[in-house]
Chain A
Amino acid sequence: MSDMHSAAQPSHLTHHFDTVEQQRDSASLGMWVFLAQEVMFFGGMFLAYLIYRSSYPSAFAEGSHHLDVVLGGINTAILIGSSLTMALAVYGAQTGRRGMLVLCLLATMALGLAFLGIKAVEYHHKYVDKLIPGMAFSYPGPNGNHVQLFFGLYFAMTGMHALHMVIGIALLVWLINDARKGRFTPEYHSHIEIFGLYWHFVDIVWIFLFPLLYLIGRHAGTGGAH
C-alpha cells in the first residue's frame, strides 16, 4: 500500500485518512466520545439536583408545582417530534433524497426554535412571578430558601440544555446550507449522521429533565406533597 490518494478517492476524503470508511468511523466514534463527555457534564448538575431534592422534598415539590406542566409537556412532544424529523433527515441523506433531507432538517430546526420559544415564554412567566434567583427572588413561606435552590437548579439545568439547543440550531443552519448545495450523498453524509447523534442526545437530556423538574408529586388526582 503505497500512495494514499489514487485518483478514484473522493474529494471529501481528507489527507490524513486512508479510506472513506476510516474517516466515517472516526467521525462517528469522535461524536460518541464527545457525548460521553456531555453525559458527565450534565451529570454533575443532575447529581446536585438529586441530592437537594432528597434533602428538601416538600420544598422541591412546591417549586415544581409552579412550573407549567402543559407547556413542558408540549415542549417534550416538540422535541421528540424533532428527533423524528432528524432521523428522517438522516434517512433522506442515506437514500439520496436531497429534498427530503433539506425539508426534514428545516422541520427539525423549526421544532427546535418552537421549543426555545416556549421556553422563553416560561422563563418570562418566572421573571414576572419573581422566581429567578438573583433577580429579586421572592417566595413567601418558610420554604423560601429551599424553593430558591429548586429554581436555581431549574434554570441552571434547563438553561444549559437550552444553550445546547441553540448550538444545535446554529449547526443546523450550516448543515441545511450544505445540504441545499448537494454536498451530502449516500456515500458521504457523516456530518448529518453525527449531528443526528448530537440532536438525539440533547433530546434525551430533556426527557430526563422534564419528569425530574416538572412532575414531582403529580400523581393522577393529587397535586400535593406527601
Chain B
Amino acid sequence: MASDVDNLYFFLLAVTAFFSTLIAGLVIFFAIRYRRRSEVELPEPITGSTKLETLWTVIPAIIVMIIFGWGAKVFLSFNRAPADAMPIYVVGKQWMWKLQHLEGQREINELHIPVGRAVKLIMSSEDVIHSFYVPAFRVKADVLPGRYTSIWFKATQPGEYHLFCAEYCGTKHSGMIGKVVSMEPVAYEAWLSGGPREQSMTARGQTLFQNFSCHTCHKPDGSGRGPALEGIFGKSVTLQTGQAVVVDENYLRESILSPSSKVVAGYQPVMPAFQGLVNEDGLVQLLAFIKSLGPQAAAPPPSTGPVPGTERQNSKP
C-alpha cells in the first residue's frame, strides 16, 4: 500500500520537475534570447493565440484528471479494510496513545502487530482532535472526540516505525509520539501471550454489560424492553423517524451515550444515557463485546492462538 502512494508521489515529482524545468527554462531562455539590445526596439505585437490557450488548458486538464483518478483509487483502497482485518482499539488523549488488543493486551504509545496481517484501528479521542500517523505506512486519520474513525494497514516487514500525532492538540503535541513494532507472526504470538495475563476486550466488555445492567433490557431472545443485540453489528435498522441506519461503531456509541437521539422503531425511548458514566476505554470494550455477539451459526475467525477468557468471536470487523 505504501508503495502505491510512493508511485503516485514519484509520478507527481516527475510532473513537477518537468513543468517547473520547462517554465524556468523557457523564462531564462527567453530572458536571455530576447534581452533588450537597444532602447528603441519595438517587439512584435503578439496579443495571444487561442490555439495555444486551448492547448495549455486541455493538456493540464487531462494531466490533473489522471492525477485525480490515481489519487482517488489509492484513497479508496485505504477506505475499506479487508474483512479479516484484526481490529485494534485506539484511544488518543492529551498527550498519549492508548491501544487495546482484542485479546486484552494494552499498550501505551506502542503498537505491536504481526507481519502480513491486515490491522484495522478503530479510534476515538478522550478530549481534543488528534491524528494517528505512521509515515512508514503512509496512513493517517484524525482521531476525534465523540466519533470513531479508522484506518487499516498491513506490515510487510518486521521493524519499528514512527508513530506521530499529526493534529495539533496542545502543549505536548510533539511529545505524543511512539512506535509501531511489527513482528514475525511467531514472535507476535509470543509477545501476545507473554506479559501479565490480561482479560480480553470482549470479556471486559461483557463485565461492563453486566455491571451497567444492559442485559436486563437487551435480552438475547428479544423479550426485554430493548432490542436483542445478537448479530446486530453491521445490520441495517429502521428508526422511529423512518430513517434506516447501519449499526456501526458510531451508531453503537451514540446509542450508549445518548440513546434518545436515534431510537429503533417499535421501541420506547426509555434507555438511560450513559454519557459521563462510561469512559472511552470502557466504550470500546463494550463495542468489542457487542461485535462478538454473532448469530450462533457464524464460523469462527482464523484463530490467533489460545486466547483465554474470550466469548465467541465474530469474523465481521
Contact = CB atoms under 8 A, between A and B. Distances in A.
Contact of B260 (A55, A142, A226): A142
B261 interface: yes
Contacts of B87: none
A41 interface: no
Interface residues of B, number: 7
Could you say which interface size class chain A belongs to? under 10
A127 interface: no
A57 B241 contact: yes
Contacts of B241: 57, 226
B273 interface: yes
Nearest to A57: B241
Which of A56, A142, A145, A226 is the most central at the interface, judged by chain B CB atoms within 10 Å of its CB?
A: A142
B272 to A, nearest CB: 8
A28 interface: no
Nearest to A142: B260
A138 B104 CA distance: 41
B269 interface: yes
B226 interface: no
Contacts of B260: 142-143
B205 interface: no
Contact of B269 (A142, A146, A226): A142
A144 to B, nearest CB: 10
B226 to A, nearest CB: 15
Nearest to B261: A56
A139 to B, nearest CB: 13
Contacts of B273: 142
B114 interface: no
B259 interface: yes
Interface string A51-82: 00001110000000000000000000000000
A167 B261 CA distance: 40
Interface in B196-212: none
Contacts of A145: 258
Interface string A130-157: 0000000000001101100000000000
A63 to B, nearest CB: 14
B90 to A, nearest CB: 26
Contacts of B269: 142
A143 B241 CA distance: 16
B225 to A, nearest CB: 15
A145 B261 CA distance: 11
A130 B105 CA distance: 47
A142 B271 CA distance: 10
Nearest to B270: A142
B172 to A, nearest CB: 30
Contacts of B258: 142, 145
Contacts of B259: 142
A145 B241 CA distance: 20
A106 to B, nearest CB: 50
A143 B259 CA distance: 10
Interface of A: 55-57, 142-143, 145-146, 226
Interface of B: 241, 258-261, 269, 273
12 contacts: A55-B261, A56-B261, A57-B241, A142-B258, A142-B259, A142-B260, A142-B269, A142-B273, A143-B260, A145-B258, A146-B261, A226-B241
Sorted from nearest, which 3 A-B pairs have the closest CB atoms?
A142-B260, A142-B273, A143-B260
